[in-house]
Amino acid sequence: MRRLILLCCLFIGSLSVVGQTTVSGKLRDNRGKPVVGASIAIKDSYDGATSDSLGMFRFTTEEKGEKLLMISSIGFNPLEKNLVLTDKPVELDLQLKESPNELKAVVVTAGSFEASDAKRTTVLNSIDIVTTASANADVTAAIRTLPGTQQVGEKEGLFIRGGSGEEARVFIDGTLVNNFFYSSVPDIAQRGRFSPFLFKGTIFSSGGYSALYGQALSGALILETIDLPERSSANLGIGSVGFSGGYQHLNKKKTASWGANYAYSNLLPYFELVKQRVDYFKVPVYHYADANFRVKTSKTGILKFYGTLQLNQLGLRSADIDSLTLKNAFSLKNHNFYGNLSWKEKLARNWKFFTGASYSNNRDQLANELQDQDDKPVDIDYLPYKAKNYSGDISTNLAQVKSVLEKKLNGISAIRFGGEYLYFHDDIQFSDSTSRQAILDDHFKAAFAEADIYITNNLAAKLGGRLEHSSILDKTNIVPRVSLAYKLAEKGQVSLAYGIFYQKPERNQLAISRLLNYTRATHFIANYQKLTPTRTFRLEAFYKKYADLVKVSPQLNNSGYGYAKGIELFWRDKKTFKGVDYWISYSFLDTKRDYLNYPFSLQPNFAANHTASVVLKKFVTKLKTQFNASYSFATGRPYYDFRYNSSDNKVEIADQGKTISFNNLSLSVNYLPSIGKTNAKRFTVWVLSVSNVLNQKQIYNYNYSYNGLNKRAVVPPANQFFYLGCFISFGVDRTEDAINNNL
Amino acid sequence: MKKIFFLFALMLAFAAGFAQSEKYAGAMKAQIAKIEPAVQNGGFTDLVNSFERIGDAEKNQWLPYYYAAYCQVMSALIGTDKSKSDALADRADQLISKAETIAGAPNSETHVIRSMIATAHLTVDPQSRWQQYGQESAAFLEKAKQLDPTNPRPVYLEGQSKFYTPEAFGGGKATAAPVFEKALTMFDAFKPASEIAPAWGKSATQYFLSQCK
């Protein structure tokens, strides 16, 4: 017994007899730079330290024997090291490996601008798109303030780096959108059909885009729709061109939502107030209805549906160019349905799955009638008048499905692959003095694979390939897409991109001949970018080579060719002027192409050599008002009078010139009286916008009469556009949703 | 003999346990004392690491991770390089999740930290993040108040949020002052559960209140 107590006393005594060991050392990363603020700890003890500004650390411990030293720091892989602690000091020289980190890693930026609400610092976010003064709630109009795009006012579409409007495509949730813009009206550019509030992410690629997308020679606008709303809400809007209303319901568990919206626009009152150059005998009227549902299929999966039905019509009368007394009355009736269903899910073992399906149907019923002074129809049976009485009924359908599988490999590297199937069915009926009909069916299939390879956090490569087959051309193509990015310092990086891009000829060309081939462009892009949360600087140079462009004269074939090269600059700054956010973009473009009816290689009439935009935003807290301004400038674009000489079977240039330079200053004001009230039941936004505030003359192009003696400027239907609207959202704070919902 | 041995073993275990909790409380107190000076002089990273070491070693105490998260989010809030704030706030989020797991459920104090984490994300880009993180931060403060109506810290943070909100948006010094006064009376009445339970915020409340006048 006594012995036992003694033993115990001895044992307890030994607990308090302790020696201390000093552990010290230095921590470095793979480039030999000190790691600051790292935690160094002996496992299961309180002992440890934090590395200082030189990466040094030192601490003492009373622990003895074999222990595990654990080192960790944000952005590095944790490190463990076995130590044997005696009383002797331990000195260590340790290296930490940077952990792969999506937020920190270099991103390929050559050719692309990303706008999203994700945590990553991006050049633009969704609100930026909505509050750009010249945009009037049109996604593509906001994109036109970025480098690489042209200020084209006579035709819809994005004219990117010497490419025509048809050569850029829009994708929503992964699938191609066939009729993103309202149907064409001669000499007047049309808006996009889709509200910017539908989208949470926007990637604008002015070249060198991913192998997941194809069939666009110059660029792609890739849009991602929003997920579940934050709350249920109803909204109402009224403005100078119409009204809108809608409801979104979110279930109690916040796992599913549904909603529907309706908007009606009628420009009659507006045209009464603001005189238009053209005489609208049918005032533009637009009906827009949409329905959506979004369901969380698991913690990581979401199923989304968006469908819209749109009906609109207009009729406008303008003076005929070939005669002093006659007029052309053009009318258009458009029906459009678009539906998109997509499902995204994370699977086990770092696999991700995406599938999307969409269907669209668009029908344009258009007609042109030659009329006299009293608006009575006139029938003249010789050229050019013979061709001026025409009607068309054009129906286009596109059904498609696309699937992508992705696997993450050790951290952030990834491979993805998949395929898509698109079924185009177009029915074109056209009659002037004769009637013609063409039915075009194309089963278009593509398979693609892409790998994101991160050699380190600072060096990444994206390698991709795409295989396409079109049944109407009965041709297959296979293309490579390669890009590289290297991070120079903490915030600066360089990227390079190369790729080959194919595109089918336009449907009106295929209607004449199916013996055409794909048109082709090869892109080379080099880019430097420096990005901080408050400032962005980008410099990009590109060279593009076109081959197999479609020629329509003297023969319809693929003998066209061309090139485009240029330098672009982008600067955004939220820091220098307090509370002011602005960006500047400048593009220099040198391009020539021989295509369509061009007699030889020429600078196309949609390409200006110099284009610049300045966009400014300032929120004045005291007034609860945001002021936005944007100024766009472009040097004059060339215009041509092409004349077919039947004796030589050649097209000649009878006349040519350059338009005056383009200037547009737009202003907009958003007043948000309920901002800041966290529990407001109602949220109101007032919007006022004016385009071309300085009333500067804008000439887009020139049209020539049949005999070439009369030349007329293509100008906008009115110099200025004014908009005033008020949007109220009930039950939820939807500040940005409310601005310009259906303008 | 056996009985004595058993008794002794029990006594030893108790003594060791007592020594252990003594050591824990001592270490915690020593680190907690360093928080107030860190607000002025920096050194939050050091504190985060120290609290985390204690948390890792103890395994069933939620307070070390709670303080680690608090220090981590403070380092984001007082840091001038906002490009780092998201990573720091995410780290604080991991730490407070650990604390909540050990505590069994979120409590008033952990909700206070979560509100601060949302604020840290908000400050990176207030204009475009206000809608998401502003609401999130306010919602966590509400939950914190519901779970413990006597906790003065959510009231203090509510005052701080009002203090920094422009007058045009329903904030400003005049509206913040009564909230700080309320928080101060609550601080006077508040009895921390233990010597190492959360007790911070009173001097900051006094400071802000003095700035309101």
- What pLDDT digit, counting tens, does each position of A531-557 carry? 877 788 999 999 999 999 999 988 899
What is the arithmetic mean of pLDDT over B52-69? 91
Dist CA A250 CA A728 (whole Å): 19
Cβ-based neighbours of A542, under 8 Å, separated by 6 or more: A111, A161, A206, A207, A523, A524, A525, A526, A564, A565, A566, A568
The shortest CB-CB distance from B8 to any of A8, A127, A678 is to A8
- Of A518-527, B8-17, B36-45, the poorest mean pLDDT is in B8-17
pTM confidence score: 0.81
Chain B interface includes A122 (CB < 8 A): no
Residue B43, sorted as left (phi over 0), alpha (psi -120 to 50) or beta, turns out to be left
- Asked if the Cβ–Cβ distance from A8 to B166 is below 8 Å, we say no
User: Greatest CA separation found in chain A?
Assistant: 132
For residue A540, count CB atoms less than 10 angstroms from its CB and return exposed for 0-12, middle for 13-18, buried for 19 or more. buried
- Asked if the Cβ–Cβ distance from B168 to A624 is below 8 Å, we say yes
Residue of A46, A202, A628 for testing the chain B interface, max B β-carbons within 10 Å: A46
pLDDT on residue B162: 87
- Asked if the Cβ–Cβ distance from A43 to B56 is below 8 Å, we say yes
Chain B interface includes A675 (CB < 8 A): yes
Contacts 24+ apart (CB under 8 A), A209-212: A209/A111, A209/A112, A209/A481, A209/A499, A210/A450, A210/A462, A210/A464, A210/A481, A211/A448, A211/A449, A211/A450, A211/A464, A211/A465, A211/A466, A211/A479, A211/A481, A212/A174, A212/A404, A212/A416, A212/A418, A212/A448, A212/A450, A212/A464
- Asked if the Cβ–Cβ distance from B88 to A48 is below 8 Å, we say no
pLDDT on residue A739: 34
Strand ranges in B149-196 using DSSP code E only, listed in sequence order? none
Dist CA B3 CA A21 (whole Å): 40
Dist CA A385 CA B41 (whole Å): 85
Question: ipTM of this model?
Answer: 0.79
Spell out the domains of chain A, with CATH numbers in brackets: 15-95 (2.60.40.10), 112-738 (2.40.170.20)
pLDDT on residue A1: 52
Give the CB-side neighbour count of residue A426, counting CA atoms within 13 A: 22
**Per-residue pLDDT tens over the stretch A400-453:** 999 999 998 877 788 999 999 999 999 999 998 889 999 999 999 999 999 988
**Does residue B19 carry a pLDDT above 70?**
no
- Asked if the Cβ–Cβ distance from B87 to A75 is below 8 Å, we say yes
What residues does B164 pair with on adjacent strands? none
Query: Which one, of A117, A125, A120, lies nearest residue A106 by Cα?
Result: A120
3-state secondary structure of B24: helix
pLDDT on residue B26: 87
Nearest residue of chain A to residue B59 (CA atoms): A44
Average pLDDT, chain B: 85
**DSSP, res B132:** I
Bridge pairing between strands A701-704 and A279-296: unpaired
Dist CA A306 CA A246 (whole Å): 14
C-beta separation of B115 from B141 below 8 A:
yes
Residues of chain A in contact with residue B166, where contact means CB-CB under 8 angstroms, are 621-622, 676
Residues of chain B in contact with residue A70, where contact means CB-CB under 8 angstroms, are 56
CA distances from B61 to B45, B51, B70 (A): 20, 11, 15
Chain B interface includes A439 (CB < 8 A): no
**Per-residue pLDDT tens over the stretch B138-176:** 889 999 999 999 999 999 999 998 888 877 777 888 889
Dist CA A366 CA A430 (whole Å): 9
Chain B interface includes A452 (CB < 8 A): no
Dist CA B150 CA B144 (whole Å): 10
Nearest residue of chain B to residue A574 (CA atoms): B125
Nearest residue of chain B to residue A50 (CA atoms): B46
Cβ-based neighbours of B94, under 8 Å, separated by 6 or more: none
Cβ-based neighbours of A669, under 8 Å, separated by 6 or more: A625, A626, A627, A628, A686, A687, A688, A689
Q: CA angle A451-A456-A458, nearest 5°?
A: 100
Residues of chain A in contact with residue B49, where contact means CB-CB under 8 angstroms, are 39-41, 48-50
Bridge pairing between strands A535-551 and A662-671: unpaired
Structural element, H or E, at residue A46: none
Residue of B2, B48, B53, B179 for testing the chain A interface, max A β-carbons within 10 Å: B53
pLDDT on residue A740: 31
Identify the residue whose tokens are 């286009």. Answer: A396
What is the arithmetic mean of pLDDT over B87-91? 90
What is the distance in angstroms between the Cα of A652 and the nearest Cα belonging to chain B? Answer: 54
pLDDT-based confidence at residue B10 (cuts at 50, 70, 90): low
Residues of chain A in contact with residue B45, where contact means CB-CB under 8 angstroms, are 37, 50
Identify the residue whose tokens are 């944790």. Answer: A78
pLDDT on residue A118: 54
pLDDT on residue B84: 82
| Side chain identity at residue A577, one-letter code | F
- Asked if the Cβ–Cβ distance from A621 to B168 is below 8 Å, we say yes
What is the distance in angstroms between the Cα of A354 and the nearest Cα belonging to chain B? Answer: 26
Residues of chain A in contact with residue B67, where contact means CB-CB under 8 angstroms, are none
C-beta separation of A604 from A164 below 8 A:
yes
Nearest residue of chain A to residue B162 (CA atoms): A676
pLDDT on residue A89: 86
Dist CA A385 CA A432 (whole Å): 10
pLDDT on residue B12: 55
Nearest residue of chain B to residue A118 (CA atoms): B129
pLDDT on residue B97: 93
Bridge pairing between strands A233-239 and A219-225: unpaired
- Token pair in block for residue B94: 């991991």
State the count of interchain CB pairs (< 8 A) between A and B: 86
- Asked if the Cβ–Cβ distance from A48 to B53 is below 8 Å, we say yes
The shortest CB-CB distance from B57 to any of A4, A44, A119 is to A44
pLDDT on residue A100: 66
Instruction: Count CB-CB contacts under 10 A for residue A728.
Output: 16
**Per-residue pLDDT tens over the stretch B101-134:** 998 888 999 999 999 999 999 888 777 677 778 8
Pick out chain A residues at pLDDT < 70. Answer: 1-18, 100-108, 110-111, 114-126, 490, 675-681, 732-743
**Does residue B86 carry a pLDDT above 90?**
no
- Asked if the Cβ–Cβ distance from A39 to B48 is below 8 Å, we say yes
Nearest residue of chain B to residue A732 (CA atoms): B131
Report chain B residues touching chain A, CB-CB < 8 A: 1, 4-5, 8, 12, 15, 23, 27, 45-46, 48-50, 52-54, 56-57, 82-83, 86-88, 91, 124-125, 127-128, 131-132, 134-135, 138, 165-171
C-beta separation of A726 from A245 below 8 A:
no
3-state secondary structure of B36: helix
Strand ranges in A320-412 using DSSP code E only, listed in sequence order? 327-346, 351-371, 390-409
